[in-house]
Amino acid sequence: MAEELNAVIVSIEYRLVPKVHFPEQIHDIVRVTKYFLQPEVLQKYSVDPDRIGISGDSAGGNLAAALGQQFSQDTNLRNKLKLQALIYPVLQALDFNTPSYQQNVNTPILPRYVMVKYWVDYFKGNYDFVQAMIVNNHTSLDVGEAAALRTRLNWTSLLPASITKNYKPVMHTTGNARIIQEIPQLLDARSAPLIADQEVLQHLPKTYILTCEYDVLRDDGIMYAKRLENAGVEVTLDHFEDGFHGCMIFTSWPTNFSVGIRTRNSYIKWLDQNL
């Protein structure tokens, strides 16, 4: 990226689980980015303040999306972000039965069970909740806190018919209300950017979202693209029919996969044209 874009790339070494848990990772990236955006720091690294973008893949895509939303609401920031680029991002923990979660339930590299455990780890939650969360018991109809947020990830309206196919939503009348009581972070837009208010989304910069067919997170990215589009944001959704979660890192021998090289090249090409 640095060579092909002739750009300054800053990688933030935010603290990880189990050393810290949500929202400390958000605080880390906000602090670092605000520091970097200071005029004297940008000048030191010869960075054009009008050409700054944020990006991340997977969990990093989650943090980049959260950062974009926070910065879009910060009226004190002199230097605004020009774009955000999200690579197979993690964007919600309310519905683990979207079509992509159902289709790719046991697909490497990220089966559903592992993804749900990652969420519990992020919040320092109880592993006893994992099986209930897998079947959406944490957002059943009797969990009032989740009710107002369901329309924001209603995949029956946000996803095209080519994706929804014959899949059915999984929503129970009664579930386990204790999960949200003990892990309210599940409903926090800083952890789940897909559920942010429309008023927040409409101020976001030009956005690139890359999704892969064989990925439980595919529909998170596609739904976010649709919500951003509905909010008036210019969005490029770059979907790879032969892609899988994490494929962009497979670009060097002996795992120099075609799809890894194509996703990387497509991503860098978009940045080159838009940054």
Give the active site residues: 58
Q: Please count the other Cβ atoms lying within 10 Å of the Cβ belonging to residue 222.
A: 22
Let me know: does 82 contact 206? Beta carbons within 8 Å. Answer: yes
Four-point Cα dihedral 110, 67, 95, 21, nearest 10: 70
- Pick left, alpha or beta for residue 81 (phi over 0 → left; psi -120 to 50 → alpha; otherwise beta): beta
Say how far apart CA 12 and CA 28 lie, in whole Å. 8
The helix-helix angle for 24-36 and 59-72 (nearest 10°) equals: 60
Task: Please give the structure tokens belonging to residue 217.
Answer: 């997170």
Counting beta carbons within 10 angstroms of the beta carbon of residue 15, is it exposed (0 to 12), middle (13 to 18) or buried (19 or more)? exposed
